[in-house]
Amino acid sequence: VQLQASGGGLVQAGDSLRLSCSASERSFPDYNMGWFRQAPGKEREFVATIDWRGYRIAYADSVKGRFAISRDNAKNTVYLEMSGLKPDDTATYYCAASRPGRITTIQSDYTSWGQGTLLTVSS
């Protein structure tokens, strides 16, 4: 499945922003979806994941209570609502798709990746 992430930009600390990830295929509802991020000079890390039905969700500890993942299967889109943004959230954000099963935080379990959207949070 081809993925296109969007919605990044330059915001101030404390602001909110929503990222979107659109899929090109009707099979989008068959996939669990995840968001990952890579800060400059750091390895890519897990942010959030949601199962194909939207029932099971998991977050990285660093974003719990501030970020919310959701999906609209009718629109082939997964979202990441971010609030209380911090400079440490500055990163390129990637969406990714994995086959149904248990939700996973492991990058190698994801078979399709979007191109990334850059979020910069100024202090």
- Quick: pLDDT tens for 23-42: 988 888 889 999 999 999 99
Distance in angstroms (rounded) separating the CA atoms of residues 31 and 42? 27
Distance in angstroms (rounded) separating the CA atoms of residues 100 and 53? 9
What's the average model confidence in pLDDT over 1-5? 94
Distance in angstroms (rounded) separating the CA atoms of residues 48 and 54? 12
For residue 122, count other CB atoms closer than 10 A to its CB. 11
- Segment among 11-20, 22-31, 46-55 with least mean pLDDT: 22-31
Confidence of residue 86 (pLDDT cuts 50, 70, 90): very high
Length of the chain counted residue by residue: 123
The answer on pLDDT for 106 being more than 90 is yes
The answer on pLDDT for 95 being more than 90 is yes
Residue type, 92: T
pLDDT at 99: 86
pLDDT at 18: 98
Residue type, 66: R
- If one compares 1 and 12, the residue with the highest pLDDT of the two is 12
